[in-house]
């Protein structure tokens, strides 16, 4: 029996142009080779199975090829290239840092660096999983990595770049490998299947590519497993069954049931998913992904963001037309909230079922809203008018005073027109316009006074007496000390800065109401102005206060002397 070679090794790229999904890396390396701008050290970072070690080997082979093409590719025919292809080249030294991570291992490597290559121009040292090196090993490697012999090139590969110490990063050219796109993996699997004589359904290869999660090596391993299972004929049904992947049809069906408001079928479908051994959380995540795909399918510019086959794209596009954008956004928000609460829920199945029922009723409410929008204008206006009356009654009820009025104040809903053509937007606009004057009107309409002639002293004293009612020390000081004048029944009060002025104006209706009540007159007005010169006024010191006190009552000074008291400065 012929020895079987896994696809990941059999179809491993041997040239830069055969590397899948990393053109930004391969083009840069080819340009560096053709121009001769080769660095002494490279750091290849990225997820597993995306081509880091493969590109390192191709780079090592190419820089040692004597017949390099004008495009920066190896000839793949010379003695050096053939020895690289068979793994017999002495110019490549590979070290697994996961198991060789001590200082001694790095010292042995450094000792070998000084020997020139026997065949070719460069000796390439590939250190895989370099983040596993100890800190001492990293430090032992620094000097050699920065100033190696001209014939030595280092290529470090890692899946965890954040674990590499900064002194290593600064000595390397860093290349970040991307996850390979689902479409690129699927095309490569199709190429492999054609070479191996395997028939396939395009959807089956897409499922394998999605299961690989951006790693081509994982995709090759799954491909070999599925070929062994299906007998050289890959079908979508068999792949889904063997990989334990939830079929797309379940999600398409359940969204159709959402649209039909069919709660019973939604529950039965979810029960069928659980009976097949799928986890409720995975189902929830898959449903969220499905709804996201529906949302991006509503626009031809964003439909390319879906990494599925063309047939599935068409199905997404058709179903997306039956879903409103409002429903999709609310559904995604609900699924996201359920996802967060899933792990902490005691009854996880009930949590998912409640989410599904809410999604169904969400569709029903959306449909009902659209139905109302489609009904004749007259019926719609009648329902709007009833709603408007309820809103107005609620506003009036909130505005009813608890004290008796001599004359009921004008409510903010007065003179609002309730005709058949009335709209909620118009209602909101009128209410907001009239509501701006509510606070100004409230003090005047609370109580009716005789409007006796105002006396300046009484008005100013009333302001001072009310100063401590507003839970603000700054306001209290301003009301007590910064009354400028009183004229034409108006008190002018100064504020030392704009923030204090803003604060006073915010509670002006309260201050005005309290002061008017004190003087029993509605004629009184208060104006606040800003006077920045007040900021320079300094507070009285203890000795100043004592001096004023002794001037008014000299006996206080005698008492201080007799008791031997000192003023705390």
What are the sequence ranges of the domains in the chain? 7-176, 182-243, 248-373, 380-446, 456-536, 539-569
Q: Which residue, 528, 428, 551, is CA-closest to 479?
A: 528
Pick the CATH number of 182-243 from 3.40.50.920, 1.10.150.310, 1.10.8.60, 1.10.10.10: 1.10.8.60
The mean pLDDT of 20-41, rounded to a whole number, is 88
The structure's pTM equals: 0.56
Superfamily designation of domain 7-176: P-loop containing nucleotide triphosphate hydrolases (3.40.50.300)
Do the Cβ atoms of 180 and 218 come closer than 8 Å?
no
pLDDT tens string 292-332 = 988 888 887 888 787 777 777 888 888 888 888 888 898 99
Confidence of residue 280 (pLDDT cuts 50, 70, 90): confident
Q: Above 70 in pLDDT, residue 569?
A: no
Residue 355, helix vs strand vs coil: helix
Strands 199-200 vs 123-128: parallel, antiparallel or unpaired: unpaired
The two tokens of residue 39 are 């660095």
pLDDT tens string 366-423 = 555 555 555 554 444 444 445 445 444 544 444 443 333 434 444 444 444 444 434 4
Confidence of residue 117 (pLDDT cuts 50, 70, 90): confident
**How many residues make up the chain in this entry?**
569
Angle at CA of residue 62, ends 188 and 130, nearest 5°: 75
Do the Cβ atoms of 363 and 261 come closer than 8 Å?
yes
Looking at residue 548, its pLDDT comes to 72
pLDDT tens string 95-116 = 888 888 888 888 888 888 888 8
Q: Above 50 in pLDDT, residue 547?
A: yes
Looking at residue 325, its pLDDT comes to 86
- Phi/psi region, residue 332 (left: phi>0; alpha: psi -120 to 50; beta: rest), is alpha
Pick the CATH number of 456-536 from 2.70.98.90, 3.40.50.300, 3.30.300.180, 2.40.160.10: 3.30.300.180
Residue matched to tokens 């000839």: 75
By 3-state DSSP, what share of the chain in percent is helix, strand and coil, each rounded to 5? 60, 10, 30
- Phi/psi region, residue 166 (left: phi>0; alpha: psi -120 to 50; beta: rest), is alpha
Q: Which residue, 307, 80, 136, 356, is CA-closest to 206?
A: 307
Q: Above 70 in pLDDT, residue 426?
A: no
Please state, in angstroms and rounded to a whole number, the distance separating the CA atoms of residues 207 and 225. Answer: 13
Number of continuous H segments (helices) and E segments (strands) in the chain: 26, 10
Q: Which CATH architecture has domain 248-373?
A: Up-down Bundle (1.20)
Strands 173-176 vs 92-96: parallel, antiparallel or unpaired: unpaired
303-306 long-range CB contacts below 8 Å, 24 or more apart?
A: none
Within 8 A by CB and 6+ apart from 25, the residues are 19, 44, 51, 55, 175, 177
Looking at residue 231, its pLDDT comes to 79
């Amino acid at each position: 029996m012929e020895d079987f070679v896994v696809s990941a090794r059999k179809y491993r790229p041997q040239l830069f142009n055969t590397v899948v999904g990393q053109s930004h890396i391969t083009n840069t390396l080819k340009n560096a080779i053709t121009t001769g701008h080769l660095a002494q050290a490279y750091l290849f970072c990225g997820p597993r199975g995306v081509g880091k070690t493969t590109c390192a080997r191709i780079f090592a082979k190419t820089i040692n090829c004597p017949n390099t093409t004008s495009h920066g590719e190896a000839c793949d025919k010379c003695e050096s290239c053939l020895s690289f292809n068979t793994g017999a080249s002495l110019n490549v030294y590979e070290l697994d840092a996961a198991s060789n991570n001590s200082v001694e291992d790095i010292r042995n490597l450094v000792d070998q660096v000084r020997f020139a290559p026997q065949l070719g121009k460069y000796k390439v040292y590939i250190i895989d999983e370099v983040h596993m090196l100890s800190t001492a090993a990293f430090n032992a490697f620094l000097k050699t990595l920065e100033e190696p012999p001209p014939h030595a090139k280092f290529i470090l590969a890692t899946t965890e770049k954040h674990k590499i110490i900064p002194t290593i990063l600064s000595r390397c050219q860093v290349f970040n490998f991307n996850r390979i796109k689902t479409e690129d993996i699927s095309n490569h699997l199709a190429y492999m299947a054609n070479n191996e004589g395997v028939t396939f359904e395009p959807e089956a290869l897409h499922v394998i590519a999605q299961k690989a999660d951006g790693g081509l090596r994982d995709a090759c391993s799954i491909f070999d497993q599925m070929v062994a299972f299906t007998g050289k004929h890959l079908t979508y049904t068999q792949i889904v069954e063997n990989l334990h992947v939830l079929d797309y049809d379940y999600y398409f069906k359940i969204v159709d049931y959402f649209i039909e408001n069919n709660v019973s079928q939604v529950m039965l479908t979810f029960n069928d998913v659980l009976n097949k051994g799928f986890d409720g959380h995975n189902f929830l995540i898959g449903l969220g992904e499905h709804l996201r795909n529906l949302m991006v399918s509503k626009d031809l510019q964003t439909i390319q963001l879906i990494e599925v086959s063309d047939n599935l794209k068409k199905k997404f596009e058709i179903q997306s037309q039956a879903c409103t954008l409002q429903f999709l956004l609310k559904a995604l928000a609900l699924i996201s909230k359920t996802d967060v609460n899933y792990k902490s829920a005691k009854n996880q199945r009930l949590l998912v079922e409640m989410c599904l029922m809410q999604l169904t009723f969400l569709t029903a409410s959306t449909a009902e809203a659209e139905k109302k929008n489609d009904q004749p204008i007259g019926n719609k206006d009648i329902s709007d008018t009833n709603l408007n009356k309820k809103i107005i009654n609620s506003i009036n009820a909130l505005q009813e005073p608890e004290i008796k009025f001599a004359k009921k104040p004008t409510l903010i809903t007065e003179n609002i027109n309730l005709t058949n053509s009335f709209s909620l937007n118009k209602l909101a606009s009128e209410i907001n316009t009239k509501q701006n004057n509510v606070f100004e009107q409230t003090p005047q309409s609370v109580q009716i006074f005789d409007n006796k002639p105002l006396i300046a002293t009484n008005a100013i004293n009333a302001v001072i007496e009310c100063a401590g009612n507003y839970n603000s020390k700054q306001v209290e000081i301003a009301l007590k000390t910064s009354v400028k004048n009183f004229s034409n029944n108006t008190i002018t009060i100064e504020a030392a800065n704009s923030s204090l002025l803003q604060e006073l104006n915010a509670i002006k209706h309260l201050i005005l109401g309290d002061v008017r009540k004190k003087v029993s007159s509605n004629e009184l007005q208060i104006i606040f102005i800003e006077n920045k010169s007040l900021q320079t006024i300094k507070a009285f010191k203890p000795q100043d206060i004592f001096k004023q006190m002794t001037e008014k009552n000299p006996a206080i000074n005698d008492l201080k002397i007799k008791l031997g008291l000192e003023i705390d400065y």
